[in-house]
Amino acid sequence: MNSARMIKANGNGALAPARRAVLKAPGVLEIQPFTPPAPGPGEVLLEVRCALSCGTDLKTWRRGHPMFRLPTPFGHEFSGTVAAVGEGIERFQVGDGLMAAPTAPCGRCFFCDRGQENLCADAVGRMLMGAYADFILLPAYIVARNAFRKPAGLPFEEAALLEPLACVVHAHEMAKPEPCESVLIVGAGPFGLLHLLVLKAAGIHEVTVVGRGAQRLAWAGELGADRVIDAARDEAAAEVARLNGGIGPDLVIEATGQLDGWHDALARVRRGGRVVLFGGCPANTVLNVDTRRMHYDNLNLLAPFHYRPRDVKRAFELLASRRLGAGRIVNGRRRLADLGEVFAMLDHGEVLKCAIIP
């Protein structure tokens, strides 16, 4: 492989080393020079055109993460342009726009055989990190199952939403919202608003977002929520109770990842309704459930995790159709050199998702 493909040109036309962000310890982030490897059989070297901030990245930056040993290359939502391909690659050529999820299942284990690829040990255990960089090498298992050529008219920022959208698609496949239903989303963060966009694109009659923070609630209204409710107001519970003609929401989607959010979702759903416990809570968190209400009110509790290849494909189709306008939740942009500033902005709730443009 020509060594000139391994480096980027700076503004003066001189060749500069490629860069990537490494999280060395909580709150300690460094942009380091590195030499991207040449792709092996089935692999693709991608020049990153956009990487997106993520709630998981923010939590890892704040306090580390049990899944990721530090130091680690950082970032996992991305899209880019094919810089080089390994032996056996026929679907992609140098110069193609490409979008991919950062994980893929093994396709052979107990869970994969039963169509539960999201539970495969490899699905999250081999998560590709290092998207906050000039280049990222896509391993063969991702290229084979969860990578797609980016449609020409789809912006790189929107293409980079493939992975979080696949998580949302998986949740909706379990919940099966109907157009006639009233849906309540608990949480007005990036995932809550991505749920909102998917529900409205599916023609759901009434979608209400309950959350905290005037700015986030304003963003929810701009993105199409039929109603926004400030969770901090004393009247919030009464406002939710009046939904659906006073019966309460048919479907509640919890998207805070906080125990209070889980309890609130269970308290708000109508009799015979469904609760999607989407946001993951910390380990050893205990949920108190009123077993009498759960049984006699015939509640259905759903706890989606991760995604399957068919969810990734469906997410790709939704993005390619341009029906969602999903790029609207990306409301900040910074260069790779300013990545530290991005996490300060996220920490203060100043942006929903930020595009990092190398």
Q: Tell me, yes or no, whether 98 lies in a domain.
A: yes
Q: Are residues 134 and 226 in the same domain?
A: no
Q: Report the pLDDT value the prediction gives residue 66, as an integer from 0 to 100.
A: 73
Residue 210's nearest CA partner among 264, 277, 167 is 264
CATH of the domain at 58: 3.90.180.10
Q: Tell me, yes or no, whether 313 lies in a domain.
A: no
Q: Are residues 9 and 154 in the same domain?
A: yes
Q: Are residues 140 and 239 in the same domain?
A: no
Q: How large is the average pLDDT for residues 3-23?
A: 59
Q: Tell me, yes or no, whether 192 lies in a domain.
A: yes
Q: Are residues 238 and 176 in the same domain?
A: yes
Q: Are residues 150 and 105 in the same domain?
A: yes
Residue 47's nearest CA partner among 88, 86, 6, 75 is 6
Indicate if the alpha-carbon torsion angle 327, 329, 331, 334 is positive or negative.
negative
How does pLDDT run across 286-315, given as a tens digit for each residue?
999 999 999 999 999 999 999 999 999 999
Using DSSP bridges, classify how beta strands 78-85 and 44-52 pair: parallel, antiparallel or unpaired: antiparallel
Q: Report the pLDDT value the prediction gives residue 16, as an integer from 0 to 100.
A: 54
Q: Report the pLDDT value the prediction gives residue 320, as an integer from 0 to 100.
A: 97
Q: Tell me, yes or no, whether 311 lies in a domain.
A: no
How does pLDDT run across 70-108, given as a tens digit for each residue?
899 999 999 999 999 999 999 999 999 999 999 999 999
Q: Are residues 154 and 179 in the same domain?
A: no
Is a pLDDT exceeding 80 seen at residue 14? no
Q: Tell me, yes or no, whether 124 lies in a domain.
A: yes
How does pLDDT run across 130-139, given as a tens digit for each residue?
999 999 999 9
Q: Tell me, yes or no, whether 127 lies in a domain.
A: yes
Q: Which residues, at least 6 apart from 245, have a Cβ–Cβ distance to it below 8 Å?
A: none
What residue spans of the chain are helical by DSSP H?
55-63, 110-113, 121-125, 140-145, 156-159, 162-175, 190-201, 214-222, 236-241, 259-268, 291-296, 309-321, 339-347
Is pLDDT larger for residue 56 or for residue 262? 262
Q: Are residues 336 and 271 in the same domain?
A: no
Q: Report the pLDDT value the prediction gives residue 219, as an integer from 0 to 100.
A: 96
Q: How large is the average pLDDT for residues 236-247?
A: 96
Q: Tell me, yes or no, whether 309 lies in a domain.
A: no
Q: What mean pLDDT value characterizes the chain?
A: 93
How does pLDDT run across 169-205, given as a tens digit for each residue?
999 999 999 999 999 999 999 999 999 999 999 999 8
C-alpha distances (whole Å) from 223 to each of 126, 196, 254, 322 are: 34, 8, 18, 15
The pTM score is 0.94
Residue-number span of the structural domain to which 55 is assigned: 3-160+325-357
How does pLDDT run across 322-337, given as a tens digit for each residue?
999 999 999 999 999 9
Into how many domains does the chain fold?
A: 2
Q: Are residues 128 and 142 in the same domain?
A: yes
Under the banding of pLDDT at 50, 70 and 90, the label for residue 62 is confident
Q: Are residues 171 and 238 in the same domain?
A: yes
Q: Are residues 17 and 143 in the same domain?
A: yes
Q: Which residues, at least 6 apart from 313, have a Cβ–Cβ distance to it below 8 Å?
A: none
CATH of the domain at 237: 3.40.50.720
Q: Tell me, yes or no, whether 317 lies in a domain.
A: no
Q: Are residues 111 and 8 in the same domain?
A: yes
Under the banding of pLDDT at 50, 70 and 90, the label for residue 10 is very low
Q: Are residues 134 and 172 in the same domain?
A: no
